[in-house]
């Protein structure tokens, strides 16, 4: 049996940063939206005696191997070894949760393939893999709290185009969070509660003034060159322009599709994506 699914990238429509928890992760409030820029994963039985993950063009470990091991451990599944091949389209180390999207997609594939693992189990497995993974188990739009593991589905698909501008130089997520702490950016618990109340009142489609990334000053401190890209997107008509997650990708949200296309045409490496709903994560 061969199964496949898409693993859509996500953008943080907003990201409000709170205090550090005992486990070292920061509390946050974020609306995460899946977009049409997506990797594709194929699962089939492996030829050898161990699980195999292949991702042509990308070196090093990835979360999919960890997802397979965690799925087997949690569900007790002892089926034959599997081979998962990842076709990468999401820029690597871009702040768009590409690795987390792949891990979430792998969990969907494994659940379908094995017949084990309900949605609650998959979310618990995902939470052990990383803060961004639970939101990627089922694509779409979510309000994420905690460190990203507490999710509330937000209905509908917002009507804007997303211009995605990757960078050739990566940014370490850990370094960006450390810089945010050094700059004193995190809110206290009360401040984060106020941000949550404002975001809840603004859903399902947030007003522009709430589309804020509170990690952005830390990313710009480490990569000040990104500020020019943000300015260019704004000058080209973006309703919102900001660093995506921990960066270094910069995104522009455009309600005018023509303006988005014109902007992307004038920026090297720029891509256009659209918000997508849960259907893109179907396993076939």
Cβ neighbors of 104 (< 8 A, separation 6 or more) are: 7, 126, 133, 134, 135, 136, 137, 138, 139, 281
Q: Which two three-digit tokens encode residue 200?
A: 């809840």
Catalytic residue (one of 10, 39, 51, 102)? 10
Q: Where are the alpha helices (DSSP H) in the chain?
A: 63-75, 98-114, 119-129, 134-137, 173-182, 189-202, 216-222, 226-235, 257-265
Largest distance between two CA atoms of the chain: 55
Q: Annotated catalytic, 10?
A: yes
Sign of dihedral through CA atoms 189, 171, 66, 64? positive
Sign of dihedral through CA atoms 58, 271, 132, 218? positive
Residue 38: CB atoms within 10 Å: 24
Q: Which two three-digit tokens encode residue 15?
A: 């990201």
Rg (CA), the chain: 18
What is the C-alpha separation between 217 and 227, in angstroms, rounded?
A: 10
Q: Annotated catalytic, 132?
A: yes
Cβ neighbors of 71 (< 8 A, separation 6 or more) are: 77, 106, 107, 110, 111, 114, 117, 125
Catalytic residue (one of 23, 132, 225, 236)? 132
For residues 12 and 245, the answer to whether their CB atoms sit within 8 Å is yes
Q: Where are the alpha helices (DSSP H) in 130-215?
A: 134-137, 173-182, 189-202
- Positions marked active-site: 10, 132
């Amino acid at each position: 049996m061969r199964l496949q699914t898409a693993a859509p990238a996500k953008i943080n429509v907003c990201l409000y940063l709170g205090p550090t928890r005992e486990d070292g992760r920061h509390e946050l409030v974020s609306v995460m939206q899946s977009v049409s820029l997506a990797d594709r994963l194929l699962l089939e039985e492996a030829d050898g005696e161990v699980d195999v993950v292949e991702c042509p063009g990308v070196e090093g470990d990835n979360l999919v191997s960890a997802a397979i091991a965690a799925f087997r451990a949690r569900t007790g599944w002892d089926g034959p070894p599997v081979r998962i091949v990842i076709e990468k389209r999401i820029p690597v180390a871009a702040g768009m949760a590409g690795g987390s999207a792949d891990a979430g997609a792998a969990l969907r594939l494994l659940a379908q393939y094995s017949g084990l693992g309900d949605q609650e189990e998959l979310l618990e497995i995902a939470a052990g893999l990383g803060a961004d993974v639970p939101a990627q188990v089922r694509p779409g739009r979510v309000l994420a709290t905690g460190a990203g593991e507490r999710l509330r589905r937000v209905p509908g698909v917002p009507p804007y185009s997303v211009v995605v501008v990757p960078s050739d130089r990566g940014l370490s997520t850990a370094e960006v969070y450390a810089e945010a702490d050094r700059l004193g950016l995190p809110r206290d618990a009360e401040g984060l509660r106020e941000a949550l109340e404002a975001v809840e009142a603004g859903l399902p489609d947030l007003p522009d003034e709430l589309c804020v990334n509170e990690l952005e000053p830390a990313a710009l401190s480490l990569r000040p060159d990104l500020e020019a890209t943000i300015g260019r997107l704004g000058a080209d008509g973006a309703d919102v322009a900001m660093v995506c997650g921990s960066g270094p990708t910069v995104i522009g949200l455009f309600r005018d599709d023509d303006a988005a296309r014109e902007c992307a045409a004038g920026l090297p490496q720029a891509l256009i994506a659209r918000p997508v709903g849960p259907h893109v994560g179907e396993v076939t």
